[in-house]
């Protein structure tokens, strides 16, 4: 059976009758405006996943001629890491208010970090296992891992409804900004006391449980001095000093920027950036 080095022949695709399960349009900046670049498609055949890019927009993925796609297999080990007895198993059945964080296959192979989503998941599990043993009211509650056929397929957290970014966009005034800032500060100090650095503290990674701010998203969370790899913080919310390692200064920088946004008390140059 003829195969390309990194892809599969159209005849092979047609024979196994892959199912299109996701698609998304990608846009790029061109001459100061956004221009369509391609549509990315995720296909499934039994337990295997593939991805393909097509140079046209497609509102109805089912109309795509699968046999003509240059589909490439998603490497299982790079997305779903092997399960480990050290990892906390999620409750079965899951509580109704559970959020399951799973690898975003539509991002696969878009960036160096997205080629190894499994490593990001493992790093997040390691951080969450520490936080589970030492919980804090301003840190997302981790419930454990979902597994299937010996692989981790998702991380389970308590579900929260609103981000700080949403409240700020909407100009919401019905929340106590001083209490919000105190909660964020308490959460990040708790993490630092455990030897962890979040490295991606920003309004999109802060949610609310009632009036209580909750720090979420730990795929950039590392111990102090640990290499960040390809996954770092959000542009404009880290020190941007070129240091490839996890540093408490990243969280301090972000906290001071949040202080300026929430309280109007800029104490460092961070808020000016």
Ranking 68-72, 101-105, 179-183 by mean pLDDT, the lowest is: 68-72
Q: What mean pLDDT comes out for the span 158-169?
A: 94
Q: Domains for the chain: give ranges and CATH numbers.
A: 10-73 (no CATH), 75-273 (1.10.510.10)
pLDDT (0 to 100) of residue 269: 42
Alpha helices in the chain (DSSP H): 10-16, 117-133, 164-169, 177-193, 248-263
- Predicted local distance difference test score (pLDDT) of residue 6: 47
pLDDT digits (tens, 9 = 90+) for 225-268: 898 876 777 888 888 666 788 999 999 999 999 999 999 865 54
Quick: pLDDT tens for 114-131.
788 899 999 999 999 999
**6-20, 159-173, 239-253, range with greatest mean pLDDT:** 159-173
State how far the Cα of 180 lies from the Cα of 92, in Å rounded to an integer.
33
| pLDDT tens column, 210-229 | 999 999 999 999 999 898 87
Contact 51, 109 (CB under 8 A): yes
Q: Give me the pLDDT at residue 37, please.
A: 84
Query: How far, CA to CA in Å, does 139 sit from each of 120, 123, 167?
Result: 19, 17, 19
Residue with tokens 């969370």: 221
The confidence score (pLDDT) of residue 142 equals 99
Burial of 197 (0-12, 13-18, 19+ CB in 10 A): buried
Please calculate the CA angle 66-70-73 and round it to the nearest 5 degrees: 95
What percent of the chain stands above pLDDT 70?
A: 88
Question: What percentage of the chain reaches a pLDDT higher than 90?
Answer: 51
User: What is the per-residue pLDDT for 110?
Assistant: 82
pLDDT of residue 228: 84
Phi, psi of 198 (to 5 degrees): -70, -50
Note the pLDDT of residue 62.
65
pLDDT single digits (tens) 43-81 = 888 888 898 888 888 766 666 777 778 888 988 888 999
CA Rg value for the chain: 21
Residue 57 near residue 110, CB atoms below 8 Å: no
Average pLDDT over the chain reads: 86
Spatial distance between the Cα atoms of 100 and 77, rounded to a whole number of angstroms: 20
């Amino acid at each position: 059976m003829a195969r390309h080095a990194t892809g599969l022949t159209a005849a092979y695709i047609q024979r196994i009758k892959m199912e299109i399960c996701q698609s998304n349009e990608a846009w790029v900046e061109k001459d100061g405006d956004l221009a369509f670049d391609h549509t990315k498609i995720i296909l499934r055949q039994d337990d295997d996943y593939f991805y393909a890019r097509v140079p046209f927009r497609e509102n109805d993925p089912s109309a795509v001629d699968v046999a003509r796609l240059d589909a490439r297999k998603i490497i299982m080990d790079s997305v779903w890491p092997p399960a480990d007895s050290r990892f906390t198993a999620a409750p079965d059945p899951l509580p109704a208010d559970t959020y399951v964080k799973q690898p975003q296959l539509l991002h696969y192979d878009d960036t160096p970090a997205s080629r190894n989503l499994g490593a990001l998941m493992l790093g997040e599990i390691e951080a969450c296992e520490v936080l589970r043993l030492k919980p804090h009211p301003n840190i997302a509650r981790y419930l454990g891992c979902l597994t299937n056929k010996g692989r981790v397929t998702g991380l389970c957290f308590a579900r929260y409804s609103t981000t700080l970014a949403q409240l700020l966009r909407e100009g919401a005034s019905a929340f106590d900004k001083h209490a919000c800032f105190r909660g964020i500060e308490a959460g990040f100090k708790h993490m630092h006391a455990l030897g962890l650095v979040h490295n991606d503290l920003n309004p999109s990674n802060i949610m609310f449980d009632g009036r209580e701010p909750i720090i979420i998203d730990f795929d950039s969370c590392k111990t102090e001095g640990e290499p960040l790899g390809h996954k770092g913080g959000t542009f404009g919310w880290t020190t941007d000093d070129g240091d490839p390692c996890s540093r408490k200064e990243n969280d301090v920088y972000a906290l001071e920027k949040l202080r300026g946004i929430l309280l109007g008390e800029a104490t460092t140059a961070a808020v000016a950036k």
